[in-house]
Amino acid sequence: MKRFTCADEAFRYYFKHIKTQCGITGAQVYEENLFDGTAAIFNTAFTLIFPNSYEIETHWRRWNQSYAELEYEWYRTGDRNPAMVETHAKIWAEIKDERGYVNSNYGYWWKRNDQLEKAILLLKEKPDTRRAIITHYSPDELDQYGKDMPCNVVLNFFIKDGALNLTVFARSIDLVYGFCNDQYCFARLMIDVSDRLGVDVGEMTYMITNLHIYPKHWYIDDRPEPLGPSKLQSRRNKLKNNQDDTI
C-alpha cells in the first residue's frame, strides 16, 4: 500500500498516475481507456501519514480551504438542506431531491442514531474496539439515492499505538473536488474526535473502488503558477527598467 506524508502529495501522485494509466497525455484521448466517460483506476488503497497536513498546495488545483471548512461546518449541523454551501458550490443545488435535501451531508449520518457519539463512547470504554464505525447510507433507502448517493460509505475509527486512526471506505471518488475536500473534512473530524478521546491523531487510510478524474479537469495541471507578491514586484521592476531604457 502506498504511503504519503500529506494529502497534497497523494493528490499530485494520483492525478499524474490516473492520466498516465488512461493514456491522457495530449489532445488525443481514446474512449476505450475511459470508464463512464472518466479517467479512472480501480481498487486503490493508500495511507496519509499526517492527515492533519490537509492543505492542497498544488497551485493548479486552486483549492479553497475556506470553502472546505464551510463544508465541514455544514456537516456538523447535520442539516440535509444545502443552503449553507450551495451558493459556493453549485453541485449541491443540482443534486437536491424534490424536498430540497441531499444525502451527502455526512454529518447527517454522524448524528443519525447517534452513530458518531456511539463510536466515541466505544473507543473510550474499549480502546481496542473494532466496532467504531459510521455508515453513510441506509440499505433500505437505496431507491431514494437517484441524484445523490454518498461517495464515502463507511468510516472506521480505531486506536493503535495511542493514536486515533481512520479508514475511509469509498465506492467512488472524484480526485479533484471530492478527495481534496473530503480528506480535509475527515481530517478535521479525526482532530475533533482525538481531542475528545485525549489521544494523538494517527493515520488516515483510503480504500476506494473507483478513483476518477472528470474530463473538465484532465488538463488543469497546465494552468500557470499565479504570481505571488515577490514575483509580481519583480515583474513590475523589470517592466520599469525596460521603460527607463527606452527613454
Give the pLDDT confidence of 84-136 residue by residue, as tens digits. Answer: 999 999 999 999 999 999 999 999 999 999 999 999 999 999 999 999 999 99
Mean pLDDT calculated for residue range 142-160: 94
Average pLDDT, the chain: 92
Q: Which pLDDT does position 247 carry in this prediction?
A: 38
Cell numbers describing residue 62: 486552486
Return the CATH number of the domain spanning residue range 2-246: 3.30.572.10
- Residue 226: the pLDDT is 81
Percentage of the chain beyond pLDDT 70 is: 91
- Does the pLDDT value for residue 242 go beyond 70? no
Q: What is the mean pLDDT of residues 185-207?
A: 98
Predicted local confidence at residue 25, as pLDDT? 78
| CA pair distance 101, 79, nearest whole angstrom | 9
Residue 228 has pLDDT above 70, yes or no: no
Asked if 213 contacts 220 with a C-beta cutoff of 8 angstroms, the reply is no
Residue for grid cell 503558477: 225
Give the global pTM: 0.90
pLDDT at 243: 46
pLDDT for 239 beyond 90? no
pLDDT for res 229: 60
Q: Which residues of 150-160 are buried (b: 16+ CB within 10 A; e: fewer)?
A: bbbbbbbbbbe
